[in-house]
Each structure stands twice: as C-alpha cells, then as structure tokens.
Amino acid sequence: MARFTLKYGSTEVDVDVPNENFAGVLEVKDMPGCADPVSEVKRSIRNPIGSPPFHVVMRGKRNVVIIVNDHTRDTRTREILVALLGELEELGFPRRDVTIVFGCGTHRKVRDEEAKTILGEDVWSKYELISHDCDGDATFLGETSLGNRIYINSLVAEADAKILTGDITFHYYAGYTGGRKSILPGVSARETILFNHAMMLHPAARSGVLDGNPVHLDMTEAAHLAKPDFIVNVVQNTGGEIVRAFSGDVKAAFMEGVKLVDGLYKAESEPADIVILSAGGYPKDIDFYQAHKALDNVISIVKDGGCVIFLAECRDGVGNQLFYEWMKDKLSIDEMERRLKSDFKLGGHKAYYLAKALKKVRILMMSALPSEELEAVFNVTPIENVEEGLREALKITGKNAKIKVVPHGAAILAMKK
C-alpha cells in the first residue's frame, strides 16, 4: 500500500492506495518558507518592482487605505502588515490616518474573531478596520473598454494613498488572484462585480491564463481607474508560509509573482481513472463554494467516466444560496449558460461548473455537509471515509483503475499531458 496524509478542515486523514492501482502523486514544486517572512516583505517594499521607492510614492499623502484579503483566503496578512505598517510608521504616518479594509467582494463581512486572527491582536486593536460592503456607498470611477461601469468603495476611492495586499495563486476564471483583484472584486460594487464575473464563460477565462482573458483585462482596467499607489503581494507554499514577496507597481510586481506561481504550481499528468483530491484543508475547504475551486483545478486529468474522491469539510455549509438553488432545481447546463449570459448572478456560475464536472465524472465526497443534501441537491455521492470512496470508485472504474493522489487541489493547476 502507498500511504498518504491529506488535509481535511483543520485535521488530517490517512489514505492507503493499493500499489497495483497507484499512479503517483500530483504534487507542487514546494519551496521552504522564509526564515523571517517580515524581513522578506520589508525587502520587497524597499526594492519595489516597476515603481519609485516607497518613501517617494507616499510623499505628500495624508491618509492611507490598506486593502487586505478577507476570511476566505489563507493569506499571511499578519506578516505583511507588520512589515508594511512598520514602514509607514517610519515615514511618520500616525495610526489614526491608516484604515485597513477587508476586500470582501460579495462575501459576508469579516467577523470580529476572524479579523483578530487574520490581523493579529496588536493590529486588530490599534487600527480602524472596515469590511467592504458591495451594496454600500460607492463612487463611480469610469468605464472599462469592455463596458463595465466601475464603482468602488467610497472610502477607498477618496483615500490619498491606496495600498493593495494579498497572495498570488491560480483563479479559475480570473487566471490568478492578487494584484488588480484587490480592487475588482475586492472593494467594488455588486453591479461592477457581476458584470465582470459574467465574462467567465469566455473560453480564455480560465485558471492560469491571462492573455485574452476578458475577466483579467476588465479587472486590470478597473485597478487603473482606481489608481492604487503600491501593492504588496506574496506567494506562499502549501503550508501557507511566505516564500517570496513582490511589491511595487500593480501590474509589474503582480506579473513577477505570476512567474513564480507558474514555476511552483503548474503540473502535467497523464489522465487517471480515479483522483483522490484534497482541497488543502481549512480555509480552502471552508464551504462548498470555495472548495469547488480545487475540483475545477484537477478535472482535466480525470478520465471521462472516472471518479473524484473529494475531501472538503465545508464547515460553513454550501457558502452561496444561489449555488444551492440552481443545483436543487436540476437546471440543465444549457439553461444555466443561458441565464448566466442574460443575467449573471454569483453562485450560478459555481453550479454551472459543478454540473459540467458531473457530466464528465462521478464525485464521491467526504464532507460535513448533510449526506442527503450532497446526494439530492448536488448529485454527489456522500462517503464517510476515503476507504469507502475507494471501494465505490473501483466498482465504477474497474479493479485495474489507475489512481492519482492530489494533496493540494486549491493550489495546483493540473494539465493533461
């Protein structure tokens, strides 16, 4: 037997795969985390990419807004802010003139205990904190070449200095997270976000693709309209540790980070009959809506008619009501596509991607979601453990089926050889 330990929520699950079926592990080219991540972030701030020095950028500014990731992303925001706020203090910015904004997009507000965990108690207790509300006060900045009317959080729009922070990894229709994404969807109005995300049906709107991707282009133009002064982005390893920081211009620094992500997390594989997939543990599997990204990252290497044994705790449930409703209503893929094109709504797109995956493969899911909900609503087979999933998957695909293990589904981008 080949034995593996996979992440599931905040715990781990041991998995045994018969040697005669084992086809290998699809792994990332992981790097060790920085011994001193705060120093690495400081190094990047003091050596910006495509930007004047930080002290020059901040000269003459009176108040500062720092946009950070919300509770749905496992970003080392605490280390980023220790370095960044330290630099601002050295430049003479008092704490009262610095506001930290959680770029929630259309997600719910960050809870107080979550904010304390994300920021660290010292930052949480000493700085003004705001969760962006996509239905709150918004300022119109202009229109993109694709016709999107860009409205962003008024507090952000009116700030003298705007600093974007975050992590860079794959995103299934924006191509990558990070950079411009702090503005759109991070602090944009609902109508702006919906217009942008409706372009996800474009063939170039997919993970790891920027060229010709209209979602990325629209986000980039929105960020240009918002005029951010500086970004501080990081690339993390699968343990969530910072391996390198990229600071400076919103485009130039982001693109350098993208190069590193490609080198670490793109992986080729022969198709397998069965894939044992972990989303990567909490918070990557906080809910079905977020965990689904891992499934989308690996679906290309599962043979038609094959199986995915999917480990995703989903402690916060489904994560989106429309995702639930479209699946419950058993809408056809054609009907979902028609609705997304005519009146895009967040959550519907997730149902569309899941329905397409289910047309290709069988999904057996280990989750805290109710078994009857998984089966009746999402057309997913609930399993108690991986052993049960393997027995069922081998019945479906045959005793000689080849099994691939993917421990870090939310991080990796699997590509068929």
Tokens of 299: 């679906």
pTM over 0.75: yes
- Are 200 and 299 found together in one domain? no
- Residue range 342-360, pLDDT digits in tens: 888 878 989 999 999 999 9
- Are 229 and 336 found together in one domain? no
Whole-number average pLDDT of the chain: 95
Q: Which residue has the tokens 């290709």?
A: 360
Per-residue confidence (pLDDT) for residue 7, from 0 to 100: 96
- Are 42 and 190 found together in one domain? yes
Helix (H) or strand (E) holding 415: strand 413-416
- Are 177 and 277 found together in one domain? no
Number of domain units in the chain: 2
Q: Which amino acid does the sequence have at 37?
A: P
Is the four-CA dihedral 324, 327, 331, 332 of positive or negative sign? Answer: positive
Q: What is the CATH number of the domain that holds 211?
A: 3.40.50.11440
- Are 306 and 388 found together in one domain? yes
- Are 123 and 96 found together in one domain? yes
Beta strands in 297-410 (DSSP E): 302-311, 362-366, 381-382, 403-406
C-alpha 37/C-alpha 32 separation (Å) is 11
- Residue range 68-98, pLDDT digits in tens: 999 877 789 999 999 999 999 999 999 999 9
Per-residue confidence (pLDDT) for residue 34, from 0 to 100: 95
- Residue 220 inside a domain? The answer is yes
Q: What is the CATH number of the domain that holds 411?
A: 3.90.226.30
- Are 233 and 121 found together in one domain? yes
- Residue range 13-30, pLDDT digits in tens: 999 999 999 999 998 888
Per-residue confidence (pLDDT) for residue 238, from 0 to 100: 85
- Residue 400 inside a domain? The answer is yes
Choosing from 206, 229, 264, the residue where a domain stops is 264
- Are 19 and 56 found together in one domain? no
**Taking residues 52-56, what's their average pLDDT?**
97
Per-residue confidence (pLDDT) for residue 309, from 0 to 100: 98
Contact between 190 and 102 under an 8 Å Cβ cutoff? The reply is no
- Are 232 and 338 found together in one domain? no
**98-102 sheet: strands from edge to edge:** 128-131, 98-102, 64-68, 161-167, 230-236, 242-248
Choosing from 264, 298, 320, the residue where a domain stops is 264
- Residue range 194-208, pLDDT digits in tens: 999 989 989 999 999
- Are 253 and 282 found together in one domain? no
| Range(s) of the domain holding residue 381 | 2-27+270-416
- Residue 82 inside a domain? The answer is yes
- Residue range 272-331, pLDDT digits in tens: 999 999 999 998 999 999 999 999 999 999 999 999 999 999 999 999 999 999 999 999
What lies within 8 Å, CB to CB, of 310 at 6+ separation is: 277, 279, 291, 294, 295, 363, 364, 365, 366, 367, 380
Is the four-CA dihedral 80, 82, 83, 85 of positive or negative sign? Answer: positive
C-alpha 196/C-alpha 174 separation (Å) is 10
At residue 413, does pLDDT exceed 80? yes
- Are 381 and 237 found together in one domain? no
- Rounded to 10°, the helix 37-46/77-90 angle is 50
- Residue 68 inside a domain? The answer is yes
**Taking residues 33-51, what's their average pLDDT?**
97
Per-residue confidence (pLDDT) for residue 18, from 0 to 100: 95
Please state, for a pLDDT cut of 90, what percent of the chain lies above it.
88
- Residue 32 inside a domain? The answer is no
Contact between 304 and 360 under an 8 Å Cβ cutoff? The reply is yes
Per-residue confidence (pLDDT) for residue 27, from 0 to 100: 86
- Are 304 and 395 found together in one domain? yes
Choosing from 220, 240, 264, the residue where a domain stops is 264
Per-residue confidence (pLDDT) for residue 75, from 0 to 100: 87
Per-residue confidence (pLDDT) for residue 292, from 0 to 100: 94
- Residue 181 inside a domain? The answer is yes
- Residue range 115-162, pLDDT digits in tens: 999 998 889 999 999 999 999 999 999 999 999 999 999 999 999 999
